[in-house]
Amino acid sequence: MKTITVRYFAVFREHAGLDEETLTLDAQSAVDVFVATRDRHGSAEPSGHCKVAINDVMADWDSPVNDGDTVLLFPPVAGG
Amino acid sequence: MKTITVRYFAVFREHAGLDEETLTLDAQSAVDVFVATRDRHGSAEPSGHCKVAINDVMADWDSPVNDGDTVLLFPPVAGG
Amino acid sequence: MISITSDVIDPDLLRRTLFDPGAGAFTSFEGWIRNENEGHSVLRLEYEAYEPLALTEGRSILTEAQDRFPHLHAHCVHRIGLLEIGECAVWVGVSSPHRDEAFLACRYIIDQIKIRLPIWKKEHYADGHSGWVNCERCGSHA
Amino acid sequence: MISITSDVIDPDLLRRTLFDPGAGAFTSFEGWIRNENEGHSVLRLEYEAYEPLALTEGRSILTEAQDRFPHLHAHCVHRIGLLEIGECAVWVGVSSPHRDEAFLACRYIIDQIKIRLPIWKKEHYADGHSGWVNCERCGSHA
């Protein structure tokens, strides 16, 4: 089990009802964190259109997560 | 023979040494006026890259010219 | 250079930062808040950015453009916060010796900004509802 | 709208004429006087236009763009007279609901303006010589 801080943005923050939380998870990669928080907060967004960063660096869904990491979950972006 | 007023622009004006002149020519179409003035003022510019207007309306080189017309001779344009 | 700001964007000030005696062409793009999206009447928009990564990603995009088009100067500013109809949400400007590269680079930068920067917008509708806008590639094109 | 002027071009004033609550995209092009052309060091440029036909032809170009891209607003101003390095010789701005049309229309307008308007420029070089610039299609691209 790993202690992961998860940060939510935009619609994910509204679904979660909070900016961030620290979870203890059995997660190997970023997508495991995504799925665990989706189940937890009832979001239906597929990961395909979303992005993820680990410790403020853009990452892939199969990037490994380590104990103590901060995982940032970005819903589909819409700048401009 | 037709009386044609010819107006020169940019490099054509410099070649002719004047803004406009009224000539009596045996000209059927705009290109005849072009060739006559080119011979007269020693310009070497081919008509292909140039444009012509008759009485302030853009015309083709084979557009007919009539007695009393004003023919405007435009060297290659370079706006912008 | 890229920046994120909650202040009104000043295009005239920004274009001056791109002056260069060797530049013959300047192009700019501005994204304006419009009063309609996909059939909904929009009153205003709310932009949110995750600034640290929006800036990192924005700098990467500008560097990519400059690698592709030599002698290019490029600058981008993105608004955040609450914006009213007609306001400028994003400004992209480039200058370069010739216009081919200026148009291509400006288009490249705004396209990449819209799909890569962690920025989100929430539309507030005339009917009282509001909704987060999906990304470009998922649906509507702005 | 198109105009020919010997006054300094004010881009900020011009872009405001294109505001429209339904416009989500704005693009502009500016042609700046640069200090070099085909290996020659340029000090300044002198523009000459035959205004009656430059305006007629310019209006035709803007109408063609608006016919092709609905909901387009477009505006163009061309300077004449003596211009120094860095000055804006031509400004083209368009606004439209989406950016695809804005980029395409802006590019269409400046391309057509450069090849169709009866406007000529004379370069004054650092070596004291001067010369009329040949049209785009005949040689150099600006």
Q: Judge: C120–A77 Cβ closer than 8 Å, yes or no.
A: yes
Instruction: Report, as ranges of residue numbers, the positions in chain D whose pLDDT lies below 50.
Output: 139-142
pTM: 0.93
- Asked if D85 is an interface residue toward chain C (Cβ–Cβ < 8 A), one would say yes
Residue C132 falls inside a structural domain = no
pLDDT reported for residue D58 = 98
CA C3/CA C78 separation, integer angstroms: 6
CA B37/CA B35 separation, integer angstroms: 6
CA C42/CA B80 separation, integer angstroms: 38
CATH fit for domain A2-74, picks 3.30.365.10, 3.40.1110.10, 2.60.40.10, 3.10.20.30: 3.10.20.30
CATH number at residue C18: 3.90.1170.40
Residue D141 falls inside a structural domain = no
Mean pLDDT of A23-33: 96
Nearest alpha carbon to residue D114 among D83, D81, D92, D85:
D92
Measure in Å the smallest separation between the Cα of D50 and chain C Cα atoms.
23
Q: State the CB neighbour count (10 A cutoff) for residue C21.
A: 13
How confident is the model over A63-75, as pLDDT tens digits? 999 999 999 999 9
Contacts of C35 in chain D (CB under 8 A): 21-22
Contacts of B78 in chain D (CB under 8 A): 114, 119-121, 132-136, 142
Q: Residue C137: pLDDT above 90?
A: no
Is residue D74 within 8 Å of residue D17, measured between CB atoms?
A: no
Mean pLDDT of B17-36: 96
**CA D117 remoteness from chain centre:** 10
How confident is the model over C84-113, as pLDDT tens digits? 999 999 999 999 999 999 999 999 999 999
Is residue B6 within 8 Å of residue B73, measured between CB atoms?
A: yes
Per the rule left: phi > 0, alpha: psi between -120 and 50, beta: everything else, C80 is: beta
How confident is the model over D88-129, as pLDDT tens digits? 999 999 999 999 999 999 999 999 999 999 999 999 999 999
pLDDT reported for residue C135 = 60
**Residue B6: which H helix or E strand, with range?**
strand B2-8
User: Do chain B and D touch: 3 or more Cβ pairs under 8 angstroms?
Assistant: yes
- Asked if B9 is an interface residue toward chain D (Cβ–Cβ < 8 A), one would say yes
How confident is the model over C16-71, as pLDDT tens digits? 999 999 999 999 999 999 999 988 999 999 999 999 999 999 999 999 999 999 99
CA distance readout (Å), B60 to B31, B53, C68, D102, D114: 8, 8, 42, 32, 19
Torsion angle, alpha carbons of A38, A43, A49, A55, to 10? -40
**Closest chain D residue to C92, measured at CA:** D27
Bigger pLDDT: B26 vs B48:
B26
Q: Judge: A77–C138 Cβ closer than 8 Å, yes or no.
A: no
> 3-class secondary structure for A3-51?
EEEEEECCHHHHHHCCCEEEEEECCCEHHHHHHHHHHHHCCCCCHHHCE
- Read off φ and ψ for residue D112, nearest 5 degrees: -70, -40
The per-residue DSSP string of chain D comes to -EEEESSPP-HHHHHHTT--TT--EEEEEEEE--SEETTEEEEEEEEEE-HHHHHHHHHHHHHHHHHHSTT-EEEEEEE-EEEETT-EEEEEEEEESSHHHHHHHHHHHHHHHHHHS-EEEEEEETTS-EEEPPPGGGS---
- Asked if B79 is an interface residue toward chain D (Cβ–Cβ < 8 A), one would say yes
Contacts of A76 in chain C (CB under 8 A): 134-135, 138
pLDDT reported for residue D137 = 52
Mean pLDDT over the full length of chain B: 94
pLDDT reported for residue C138 = 53
Instruction: Give residue D84's domain range.
Output: 2-126
Residue C136 falls inside a structural domain = no
- Read off φ and ψ for residue A69, nearest 5 degrees: -65, 155
Mean pLDDT of B63-71: 98
pLDDT reported for residue B58 = 96
pLDDT reported for residue D138 = 53
Is residue C96 within 8 Å of residue C69, measured between CB atoms?
A: yes
CA distance readout (Å), C25 to A33, A73, C22: 48, 40, 9
End-to-end CA distance of chain A: 40
Q: Judge: C25–D22 Cβ closer than 8 Å, yes or no.
A: no
pLDDT reported for residue C21 = 96
The confidence band for C140, taking pLDDT boundaries of 50, 70 and 90, is very low
Q: Judge: B80–D118 Cβ closer than 8 Å, yes or no.
A: no
Pairs of residues, one from chain C and one from chain D, whose beta carbons lie less than 8 Å apart: 100
Measure in Å the smallest separation between the Cα of D141 and chain B Cα atoms.
10
Residue C28 falls inside a structural domain = yes
Residue D73 falls inside a structural domain = yes
Q: Judge: C31–D24 Cβ closer than 8 Å, yes or no.
A: yes
pLDDT reported for residue D116 = 95
pLDDT reported for residue C53 = 97
CA A75/CA A73 separation, integer angstroms: 7
Tokens encoding D53: 């036909």
pLDDT reported for residue C142 = 39
Measure in Å the smallest separation between the Cα of D74 and chain B Cα atoms.
16
Mean pLDDT over the full length of chain C: 94
ipTM above 0.85, yes or no: yes
How confident is the model over B27-64, as pLDDT tens digits? 999 999 999 999 888 777 788 889 999 999 999 999 99
The confidence band for C141, taking pLDDT boundaries of 50, 70 and 90, is very low
CA C90/CA C75 separation, integer angstroms: 11
Measure in Å the smallest separation between the Cα of A7 and chain C Cα atoms.
11
Subunits touching D (CB < 8 Å, at least 3 pairs)?
B, C
User: Do chain B and A touch: 3 or more Cβ pairs under 8 angstroms?
Assistant: no
Domains contained in chain D, number: 1
